[in-house]
Amino acid sequence: MTTGRTSEPSDAAPLLDLQALVVAVRRRRRLWCSLALLGLLAGLAVAVLLPQPPAAVTMVLVAHKEDQPNDTGTLIRTDVELLRTTRIAGQALRSLKSPQDPEDFMRDYRGTGLTNNLLQIEVTGDSDAQAVARAKALADAFVADHVRRMREGAKAEADALLDQRDLMRDELTQVNKAIGDGSPESDPKASARIESLFARRAELDSRIAEFDQRAAEARTGTPRVVAGTQIVDAPHAVRRSLPKTAATRAAIGLVLGLALGLAVAAVSTVVADRPVLRREIAANLGASVIAELRRVPRRPAGPWQRRRTRAARDRLTTTLARTVRDSAEPVSLLELGCARGTSVIALNVARELAARGPVVVVDGLPGPQLTRRRPKPGDPTVVRGEHDAAVSPEERRIGVGSVAPGAAWTGLPHLGTRTVLVVRAGHSSAAWLHTVARQLADQRVAVIGVVLIDPDPRDRTDGTLWDGPRTAPRGRNERPARENGTGRRGTKRLPVWAAQVPDSDQEAR
């Protein structure tokens, strides 16, 4: 219904409505809570059924000749990679006299650089004793290999320096010979040549002394490196606590399951495009939300909750009964995702109207919600839709039908030319809500309001449309009034109620 006219709504809709996304994900909390619980149980199961093997750990202090205070950890990372080589693994296996293949052994240990000079080695085994023995053999092999490489490097450097020194000595011998062979002539050219030879001899003496010093320093640095590289923490077994391990893995599984559940809920919400907010449902159906009933909590409700539930249902019943009484044409209730709740609402409205005259409920639902129910004293008469012709004109009729997928659209006008849609939030896609509005407009069934079932409790959006014919997907929102006895068409319009939000969690069932 419309009660006025405002400016045209903006055509610039956001690509992703974050508010609707958050609401939809929150409504699917069963999914992501279930996945989080499943991840927690999986973490516990892994900790119990797949316990970690026995392990041992040791620490090695690694000294480098190139150590600098501003080193970024390049040297220790190189040592970590050298530890994971078949040469060191093979040396450790030979000391253990183990026939295991080095490539297989490399999967059982790992190295971690704690600081620039501190290397931690962790090894697993079949038992604590075997793990400790493997850790000691691996640490000894690494230290021996590191010391050997340092010594070889120092020796190669010293040998290179000594070779350069020997070349300088050979040249010095030639210079000394040239000086001795020179004649003490007074020729200026001969004097200059002798002076250059003396200068060259002095330079060679200086460089030979320098190479001797550098070679000595190269040999002197090796003992410091050898003495500094050592095992500082003896290999020992790692004590693991099963409760602590189980708690850690359960927490990891919980976080991963929760993240996966939230991701699945968000993606499925975007793909499904099922409106949950009042404003979205009202806009897609082209009709205002006149009332809503919230979901009943699964835990037992207290007396105050039951009173609030009854009060909300009574308000809805009074609203719909007034709508039916004020309408000169038959009114129907059409459900979308809440057939049982719609049948309960129809019976309550019929009981309210029965005080002023006979009422018949025409059942057009596909299921047996109404016809096979157990009647109670004072319940109205219920007939199937195919028998509605037998209803007396003096009896007020309330039609109950469905606009769910598979519904027969041509039979809806027989239930009532005006209708109230009873829609469950988040049940149908936006495309199907458009289809419902278009089909009802084609059948000239006027939608006079929407009753929203199971809305979001935190939804504060407006569900009232002030320009219904412009927001309807197609067709007119109101059926032309029938001609009265005077030949004039009536112009009576039904009132519109704003969305009534009960302050409790309930649902018509």
How do residues 133-144 score in pLDDT, each as one tens digit?
Answer: 999 999 999 999
**pLDDT, mean of residues 354-367:** 80
Q: Are 399 and 384 in contact (CB under 8 A)?
A: no
Decide: residue 11, CB within 10 A, 0-12 exposed, 13-18 middle, 19+ buried.
exposed
How much is the pLDDT for 369?
65
Q: Which domains does the chain have, with CATH numbers?
A: 55-239 (no CATH), 275-471 (3.40.50.300)
Q: Provide the percentage of residues in the chain whose pLDDT is more than 70.
A: 79
pLDDT at 186 over 60: no
pLDDT at 120 over 60: yes
Assigned token pair, 389: 């012709």
Q: Are 310 and 316 in contact (CB under 8 A)?
A: no
- Give the SS3 label for residue 451: strand
Whole-number average pLDDT of the chain: 79
How do residues 410-423 score in pLDDT, each as one tens digit?
Answer: 888 888 889 999 99
Separation CA 493–CA 2 (nearest Å): 9
How much is the pLDDT for 13?
57
How do residues 136-176 score in pLDDT, each as one tens digit?
Answer: 999 999 999 998 888 887 778 778 888 888 888 888 888 78
Radius of gyration of the chain, Cα coordinates, nearest whole angstrom: 46
pTM here is: 0.60
Separation CA 385–CA 396 (nearest Å): 15
Q: Are 54 and 237 in contact (CB under 8 A)?
A: yes
What dihedral do alpha carbons 498, 500, 501, 503 form, nearest 10°? 140
Candidates 147, 326, 121, 130; CA nearest to 228 is 147
pLDDT at 400 over 70: yes
Neighbours of 447 (CB within 10 A): 24
pLDDT at 300 over 70: no
